[in-house]
């Protein structure tokens, strides 16, 4: 993936990364994968996809759904049946 130096695109990716609590590289990768699924390769399309992902994330956070960090915390909690499970070294 070549480095894109467009300031607006990087700003949207940084906002997406912040709202998802992931790195900027992971946010850019997320946008690249979404663009590849849609078959779009130009910078303008990637900006639109990144903005749509950011808008969806903000909308989900405002609707009271669990934030990414809260859902990640929930995934890390041990289930009742797995509490005493221990791996051998």
Residue 89 has pLDDT above 60, yes or no: no
Mean pLDDT of 62-88: 66
Tokens 């900027």 -> residue: 24
Burial (0-12, 13-18, 19+ Cβ within 10 Å), 42? exposed
pLDDT of residue 11: 94
- Is 25 inside any structural domain? yes
pLDDT score of 86 more than 80: no
Q: How many domains does the chain have?
A: 1
Give me the sign of the Cα torsion angle 36, 38, 39, 40. negative
- Provide the whole-model pTM: 0.67
Residue 39 is assigned to a structural domain of this protein: yes
Q: What is the pLDDT of residue 80?
A: 63
| Domain extent at residue 39 | 1-61
29 lies in a domain?
yes
**Does residue 75 surpass a pLDDT of 70?**
no
Residues 11-65 pLDDT 10s: 999 999 988 888 999 999 999 999 999 998 888 999 999 999 999 988 887 776 6
Is 76 within a domain?
A: no
């Amino acid at each position: 993936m070549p480095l894109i130096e467009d300031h607006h695109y990087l700003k949207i990716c940084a906002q997406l990364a912040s709202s998802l609590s992931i790195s900027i590289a992971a946010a850019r990768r997320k946008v690249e994968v979404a663009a590849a699924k849609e078959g779009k390769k130009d910078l303008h399309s990637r900006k639109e996809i990144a903005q749509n992902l950011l808008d969806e994330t903000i909308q989900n956070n405002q609707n009271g759904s669990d934030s990414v960090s809260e859902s990640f915390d929930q995934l890390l909690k041990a289930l009742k049946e797995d509490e005493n499970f221990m791996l051998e070294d």
